[in-house]
Structures are given as structure tokens and as C-alpha cells.
Amino acid sequence: MKFSTKPVVIIGSGIAGLYLAIKLSEKINSEILLVTKANLGESNSRYAQGGIVGVLPENLPDSVELHVADTIKAGAGLTDAGIAEFISENSTEAIYDLVKYGVEFDKNPENRIQLTLEAAHSVKRILHSGGDATGRNIELALSHKVLNTPNIKIYQGIQAVDLLMDSDRRCRGVILYDSKTGEYEIVYANVTVIATGGAGQIYSNTTNPAIATGDGIALAYRAGAVIQDMEFIQFHPTALDLEENGSRFLISESVRGEGARLKNTDGEFFTQNYDKRGDLAPRDIVTRAIFFEMKEKGYNHVLLDTSSINKETLIERFPNIIKACKDHEIDILESPIPVSPAAHYIMGGIKISQEGKTTIPGLYAVGEAGCTSFHGANRLASNSLLECVVIAGEMAKNIAEQNLEVEPVKDCKSDCLLSQYEKHILSYKPDIEDYIRKLRETMWDKAGIVRNEQSLNQALKMINELKLEFNQEYRCRNINEYEFRSMLTVAELIVRSSIVRKESRGAHYRDDYPETSEHAYHSYISKEIFGTVKEVCDFTFSYKSM
Ligand code: FAD
Ligand code: SIN
């Protein structure tokens, strides 16, 4: 085992981790360690298509009030209005900052930023880049900046596998695993930041790439952090319907924003039968409309009809979608796109404050792994990238004010954890691919778009069986095993939280409790504080001083 000490370690190089590293590097001289388990750019962020919300002053009649109202409405009673206001008010600055770091947003012929519409936004306010390559262009610009910043050190292909906690319940750093050499490095740090993104891979159908296995949420839970609202999983209505399971290519909501419409395979437009806002109703509603339409009529998919958008617009706005469909022998200029829903985003996560503080001193979180209650029970399209940037900016200010002098910590609790990673493990090799397949299929079938008491209990039973068979609580043999360990933990958090919430709200739909209760509450789960999931509505968390 190697040992090192750092003032700040950031885990994850999506938009949240990259932007934080850059902002922090402008405020402190000490070295910042940025760790990522894949290549620098590989992340959910890279695949973002639709764009990023910007409430630009020149874009009347848009306003912070209007954006906050749309966000709160989509959030189904669980959006924190203060956080929504804060993020919305800071959106213009965030956009200008991205431009400063080299992101080129698309412009119209008058050289003004071009804005598009997505579901449940009452005005056009979404900026995009490269047509439908917003995420890729942001990742490229921020990665370039990070690579050229002297006080940011980058570890690629290195996975965070556990957090180091001391006897005072303070986070002291992280255990890193190099999947190529099998070596471990213990990094003692004053500040540890989780920016590890979402967990779409827990489901057999997902728009998320392979890295999205919920590692950071699992690490924080193992360390005793409070985790919030895990039952709220957003299923995107329109992923390209392919035969194979696994990551599925997204057909951006902005295609509907530009005028495309959903029809069933009998050629009938159907979304207005479910909600009068039709194809641009909030995401959870359109997803359920497709789910029920497919179920009732026995379809494998529905069709996205782009014929009302003129071909020049399609070519200009969606070059990557056109190409991806072409790779699957679908010419979207001539025929509709077969689509069906897929797991896309997790609204819940590690409970954090506006500055990204978790309930554990020394540990911060940001981006999709965190939960500020901005998205509530259902995220409004293109609000995620914005949240990542605004919260990371605020976090950088907060971390820069901390005492970052590093003192290596020898502590019985962290020593005890390290000894678990020094142990030799038995040679029995679990069939990890089979375990992952079982977990993903179970989550899709039993804890997916529509759930109930019985299906959720069946999911929990399967998770418990897999836990018993896998039986790897600490040291694992390879990256797949570590990811599966995280996936099991996060799946259990989702299922337990879903069982507790005996109502339907936002993206959480239970057909045994189809109504929304009058009383809106968050669900919290923490190993150390509650032992199990607990419904809490008036619980106030103290984010202890660092
Ligand atoms: P990510 O971008 O997922 O980055 C996570 C990083 O953590 C990665 O670098 C990963 O390798 C690393 N990591 C994970 N685990 C570990 C570990 N154990 N050790 C070390 N490193 C680790 N949102 C919008 O607002 N607008 C959009 O248009 C949009 N389109 C989307 C399209 C698709 C196909 C998808 C999947 C999502 C989309 N979203 C969109 C959602 C948005 O992209 C994500 O919520 C956001 O990018 C999350 O950023 P992040 O930095 O938190 O995480
Ligand atoms: C999309 O382009 O449809 C995805 C946007 C988002 O998830 O915010």
C-alpha cells in the first residue's frame, strides 16, 4: 500500500468534478488531486445532449421567478425553493464562466445565443453546443483547462473504494484502487469531495454509460452520511429502442421541443390521452404514458415522429442523433425513431447543503451524486448541468476558506478499515456478470417505472440473496466487483426508500398507492443515525463546521 497526503481530493471528472477543480485552483495554491476511474472525459456529462438552462437577462419574458416556478412545479412538492432561487439566480454567471473556459454555445444568424425548449419549461431557455453535443463540448473544454492547470494533479483509471473515517466521525481521505496494477493508495486529505455522478447502470435499460454505478453514494452511505430521496429515479421517455440491453442512446427531449411527436405503432398520437400538455408534459408523465401505452397494446416501443420538423433544422440541430440512428440503419429524415423509456437520472443522493457539505465533516459532494433538493421528486430537463456548475462554484469558495494544512492522521478506526484491504481474499470467484445481470433485470422489473409493495419486496429479496452470495464487504478482486458492491448498496437504498414512500409523487409511481398524499416529506436513510429508512419532514441537519 502507498500512502500520501493531499489538502483536497476530488473523486470524479464529470462536469461537477472538473469545474470544481478549476474554480478551486484559482483560489488556492496547494495541489488538488482529481481522481477518476475511467479516462478523464468519460462520464454522464459527456453524453448530455439537450443542453444547460440559462436564465439570461436578455431573454424576456424569462426570469428567475419563472424558472423557479417551473422547477418547483416539476419537483412535485419536494423542491427546496431557496436552493432553486439560488441556482437560478447564479445561472447567468455560470454560463459566462463556461464560455470563459472555452465552451462555445450555438448562436443564431444574428450572433445571439440560440435557445431551445424542453418539456415543462414555459419558455425557451436551454443553451446547447454543437447542436446536440452539449455535454461533449463542455467536457472537452473543461478537461483541456484542467490538463493545463499546474496545481491540479490527475489520476486516471483509479477507483475510490472506501472513505477513511476517524473516531470522531470525520472524513480523513479515501482508499484508491488501481485496476491495472491491483495496487492500493491511501490518500489522507483535509477535504474529500464526491463527484461520482449517478447510478443508471443499476437498471437493465439506461441512457447512462458504464461508469454510472453509484459508487460515491455507496461510499458515503458506508461512511455513515445521510442519503436522501433515493426512490426518485427519473426514467427518460425516449431512448433509442435497441434489441440489446445496457447503455442505450438517448433521443433528446429537445427533439420534441423542436416539434417531434410520439405515436404508437398503430400510427396514433397518444400522449394527450394521458395529459393535456401532451408530448411536452413533465418527463415522468410522458414516460408513464409510453409505459402504459406499450403495456396495454403489447408494443415493444413507440415511435418518435420528426416529420413536422423541417430537414434543415433536423440536420443543424441533431447531427449526432442522426448519425447514431444511421449507425442502427434508421434514417430519421425519412422515418420515425423507435423509442422506449430508460433509467436516466437519480434525483436523490447524498444529502448536501448549498455549498455541497454532507452530514460528515471533511466530506463534500456535488453533482448527480449529491442531493440539494433542487430537483425534488422529478428533475426538469437541463437543470442538472446547471446545478453541477453552480454548487461546485459555491463549494470552491467554501473549501478555499478551510484550513488546508495536511496532517497525516493515525487513528484506530481508519487503521482497522485499512487492515480489511490488506487481507488476502479467498480464491472463489463469483460469476459477477451473472450477478450484475440479475440485479439490473430485477431493478427494471420490480423497482422501475411502476412499483408496488409486492414487487419491491421481491426486489429486496433478490438483493439480499445476491448480497449473501457475493459476500464481499471490503476488499474485492477487480473494478467489476467493486462496482457491483456499490450497485447492490444503491439498489437496496432505492428499494427501501420506495417501500417507505406509500404514495405516488413525481417519478416515484406506485400502482398500489396511485394518489399523492397532501403531506410532502423527504425520505432519509443513514446507517449511523437511523439504522434504516425513516420518513422525516421536520428533521434539521447540522452540517458541522469543518
Ligand atoms: P458524471 O458526469 O457522471 O461524472 C462522474 C465521474 O465520476 C466520472 O468521471 C466517473 O468516471 C467518475 N467516477 C465514478 N465512480 C468513481 C469512483 N469510484 N472512483 C473514481 N471515479 C469515479 N443533464 C442536463 O442538464 N442537460 C442535458 O442535456 C442532459 N443530457 C443527458 C444525456 C444523457 C445521455 C445522460 C446520461 C445524462 C444527461 N443529463 C443531462 C444529466 C447530466 O448529464 C448528469 O446529471 C451530469 O452530467 C452529472 O454530472 P456529474 O459531474 O455529477 O457526474
Ligand atoms: C435530453 O436531452 O433529453 C436530456 C436532458 C436532460 O436530461 O436534462
- Residues 147-200 have pLDDT tens digits of 999 999 999 999 999 999 998 889 999 999 999 999 999 999 999 999 999 999
**What is the pLDDT at residue 429?**
79
Q: What is the pLDDT of residues 25-60, one digit of tens each?
A: 999 999 999 999 999 989 999 999 999 999 999 999
Beta bridge partners of 417: none
Q: Is 44 in the pocket of ligand 2 (CB under 6 A)?
A: no
Q: Is the CB of 385 under 6 A from ligand 1?
A: yes
Give yes or no for residue 50 CB within 6 A of ligand 2. Answer: yes
Task: Give the DSSP letter string of 399-423.
Answer: HHTS---------HHHHHHHHHHHS
Task: State the ligand closest to the CA atom of 208.
Answer: 1
536 — pLDDT class (breaks 50, 70, 90): low
User: Ligand nearest 127 Cα, by number?
Assistant: 1
Q: 207 CB less than 6 Å from ligand 1?
A: yes
Residue in the block written with cell 426508500: 497
Nearest atom within ligand 1 for CA of residue 200: 36
Domain ranges in the chain with CATH number 3.50.50.60: 1-232+347-546
Residue 11 pairs with which residues in a beta bridge? 35, 194
DSSP letter (8 states) at residue 517: P
Separation CA 536–CA 131 (nearest Å): 43
Q: Please name the residues in contact with 397: beta carbons below 8 A apart, sequence gap of 6 or more.
A: 27, 355
Tell me: cis bond preceding 61? Omega within 30 of 0 counts. Answer: yes
Nearest Cα to Cα of residue 232 among 34, 503, 39: 503
Taking the C-alpha atoms of residue 115 and residue 105, their distance in angstroms, rounded to an integer, is 10
Rounded distance between C-alpha atoms, residue 272 and residue 150, angstroms: 55
**C-alpha–C-alpha distance, residues 441 and 203, integer Å:** 7
Q: Ligand 2 in contact with 201 (CB < 6 A)?
A: no
Contact indicator for 193, 396 with CB cutoff of 8 Å: no
Whether 53 contacts 39, CB under 8 Å: no
Longest dimension (CA), the chain: 67
Do residues 82 and 233 touch, judged by C-beta distance below 8 A? no
Q: What is the DSSP letter of 192?
A: E
Cα–Cα–Cα angle for 359, 540, 71, rounded to 5 degrees: 90
Beta-strand runs (E) in 208-296: 227-228, 233-240, 246-247, 261-263
Q: Does 428 have pLDDT greater than 80?
A: no
* Cis peptide bond prior to 514, omega within 30° of 0: no
Element (H, E) at 219: helix 215-223
pLDDT for position 41: 87
Q: Are 119 and 286 in contact (CB under 8 A)?
A: yes
| 394 contacts: CB under 8 Å, gap ≥ 6 | 90, 354, 355, 356
Closest CA to 153 of 99, 182, 100, 189: 189
Say what percent of the chain tops pLDDT 70. 95
Confidence (pLDDT) at 398 = 97
Nearest-angstrom CA–CA distance, 168 and 501: 33
Residue 207 CB less than 6 A away from ligand 2: no
Packed helices 81-89 and 64-74: angle between N→C axes, nearest 10 degrees = 140
How open is the CA angle 138-139-141, to the nearest 5 degrees? 65
Q: Which of 283, 440, 485, 496 is catalytic?
A: 283
| Distance separating alpha carbons of residues 349 and 229, to the nearest angstrom | 7
State the pLDDT confidence band at 90, using cuts at 50, 70 and 90.
Answer: very high
pLDDT of residue 359: 93
3-state secondary structure of 164: strand
Q: What is the mean pLDDT of the chain?
A: 93
Neighbours of 91 (CB within 10 A): 23
Q: Summarize pLDDT for 200-239 with one digit per residue, the tens.
A: 999 999 999 999 999 999 999 999 999 999 999 999 999 9
> pLDDT by residue (tens digit) across 471-524?
889 999 999 999 999 999 999 999 999 999 999 999 999 999 999 999 999 999
User: Quick one: fold of 237-342?
Assistant: Flavocytochrome C3; Chain A, domain 1 (3.90.700)
Instruction: Tell me how far the alpha carbon of residue 536 lies from the centroid of ligand 2, in angstroms.
Output: 30
Instruction: Centre a 10 Å sphere on the Cβ of residue 328 and count the other Cβ atoms it contains.
Output: 13
Task: Please confirm, yes or no, whether 437 is among the known catalytic residues.
Answer: no
Atom of ligand 2 nearest to the CA of 253: 3
Ramachandran class of 311: left when φ > 0, alpha when ψ lies in -120 to 50, beta otherwise: alpha
pLDDT at 416 over 90: no
Q: Is 428 exposed, middle or buried (0-12, 13-18, 19+ CB in 10 A)?
A: exposed
Determine if ligand 1 sits within 6 Å of the CB of residue 376. no
Three cell numbers written together for 498 = 420506495
* 426 pLDDT higher than 80: no
State how far the Cα of 314 lies from the Cα of 322, in Å rounded to an integer. 8
Ligand 1 pocket test target in 385, 480, 482 with most atoms within 8 Å of CB: 385
Strand partners, 365: 194
Give pLDDT, residue 415. Answer: 82
Name the more confident of 534 and 239: 239
> Cα–Cα distances in Å, from 233 out to 105, 199, 271, 280, 457?
29, 9, 21, 19, 18
C-beta separation of 535 from 499 below 8 A: no
Residue 372 Cβ contacting ligand 1 at under 6 Å: no
User: Residue 242: pLDDT band by 50, 70, 90 thresholds?
Assistant: confident
252 lines ligand 2 (CB under 6 A): yes
Residues of the chain with CATH 3.90.700.10: 237-342
Cell of 382: 437541463
pLDDT at 535: 57
**300-350: pLDDT as tens digits:** 999 999 999 999 999 999 999 999 999 999 999 999 999 999 999 999 999
Residue pointed to by grid coordinates 423541417: 310
**Residue 414 pLDDT:** 81
- The rounded Å distance from CA 337 to ligand 2 centre is 17
Nearest atom, ligand 2, residue 118 CA:
3
pLDDT (0 to 100) of residue 538: 47
Say how far residue 4 (Cα) sits from the centre of its chain. Answer: 30
Q: Which ligand is nearest to the CA of 236?
A: 2
Pocket test for ligand 1, best of 163, 371, 384 (most atoms within 8 A of CB): 384
Q: How far apart are CA 42 and CA 77, in angstroms?
A: 34
Residue 375 in grid coordinates: 430537483
11 pocket-lining for ligand 1 (C-beta < 6 Å):
yes
pTM above 0.95, yes or no: yes
How far apart, in whole angstroms, are the C-alpha atoms of residue 522 and residue 503? Answer: 12
Q: CA 499, 501, 506 angle in degrees (round to 5)?
A: 120
* Best residue among 39, 40, 44, 128 to mutate for probing ligand 1, ranked by most atoms within 8 Å of CB: 44
Q: What is the CATH number of domain 1-232+347-546?
A: 3.50.50.60
Q: How far apart are CA 16 and CA 78, in angstroms?
A: 23
Q: What is the pLDDT of residue 539?
A: 55
For residues 255-278, give the mean pLDDT.
95
Q: Is the pLDDT of residue 537 over 50?
A: no
254 in contact with ligand 2, CB cutoff 6 A? yes
Angle among Cα 25, 56, 390 to the nearest 5 degrees reads 30
Shortest-distance atom of ligand 1 to CA 369? 52
Q: Ligand 1 center to residue 256 CA distance, Å?
A: 23
Tell me the C-alpha to C-alpha distance, in Å, between residue 338 and each of 266, 270, 320, 343.
Answer: 13, 15, 16, 17
Residue 448 CA, ligand 1 centroid: distance in Å: 20
Ligand 1 centroid – CA 12 distance (Å):
9
Which of 382, 385, 386, 388 for a ligand 2 pocket mutation test, highest count of atoms within 8 Å of Cβ?
382
- Least-confidence region, from 17-21, 106-110, 391-395, 526-530: 526-530
Question: Mapping DSSP to helix (H, G, I), strand (E, B) and coil, where does residue 536 land?
Answer: strand
**Rounded-to-integer distance, Cα 467 and Cα 284, Å:** 31
Atom of ligand 2 nearest to the CA of 50: 2
